[in-house]
Amino acid sequence: MSRMHLRRRPSPDVLPGERAGGRPWKWVAIGAVGLVWGWFDAHTRTFTIPAEVSAGIVIAAVYAYAYARRRRGRPTDTGGVRGAGGSNPTAPTSGRTAPVARRTIAIWGAIITLAVAWELFALLHLPRHLHPTFSSLYVEASRLLLVRVVTFAAWLALGIWIVLQ
């Protein structure tokens, strides 16, 4: 089998924000919440209780959302959506199953493998300032408030996106 089931490319009439089963305004709202929360989080210091509470609330909320979606029975493992229109085999299911060439897996797999290898190489060598890891680079970059706010918002959006799959 030379092709595997992966996410279908959206048709031209599908807006980017609709790919993960949501409307564009949802992602605008999620981004806004992420930026506001990230702004508050950026004023906490690492290794402190406020930082733990700030990140812990977001993680707990996303996990609770994932659990609630699972309890409601969507999405299913077959990619269908139960509920309104879910029993209709012709109903749209957010374009979950479509083939993709192995080329995609090979290229992204190679990049991810190299990134993991480079991270491990840096991690296993000291001193850290000579062998910066991904997170140590982030620590340096996060001295800029904007970097931390945007990173936090992107992280929150990624979590919700995973839940919506």
CB atoms within 10 A of CB 41: 23
Q: What's the rounded Cα separation, in Å, for the pair 123 and 97?
A: 37
Considering the rule CB under 8 A, would residue 40 count as an interface residue with other proteins? no
Considering the rule CB under 8 A, would residue 72 count as an interface residue with other proteins? no
Q: Considering CB under 8 A, how many residues would be counted as binding other proteins?
A: 56
Q: Which of 17, 22, 31, 79 binds other proteins (CB under 8 A)?
A: 79
Q: Answer whether the bond into residue 75 is a cis peptide, omega within 30°.
A: yes
Q: Which of 36, 68, 107, 146 binds other proteins (CB under 8 A)?
A: 107
Q: Which of 59, 61, 91, 144 binds other proteins (CB under 8 A)?
A: 59
Q: What's the rounded Cα separation, in Å, for the pair 126 and 145?
A: 28
Name the segment binding other proteins (CB under 8 A); options: 27-35, 47-55, 82-90.
47-55
Q: Answer whether the bond into residue 132 is a cis peptide, omega within 30°.
A: no
Q: What's the rounded Cα separation, in Å, for the pair 48 and 62?
A: 22
Nearest alpha carbon to residue 160 among 69, 52, 43, 38: 69
Residues in touch with other proteins (CB under 8 A): 4-7, 9, 19, 41, 44, 46-47, 51-52, 54-56, 58-59, 62-63, 66, 77, 79, 96-97, 100-101, 103-105, 107-108, 111, 114-115, 118, 122, 125, 129-132, 134-135, 137-138, 142, 148, 151-152, 155, 158-159, 161-163, 165
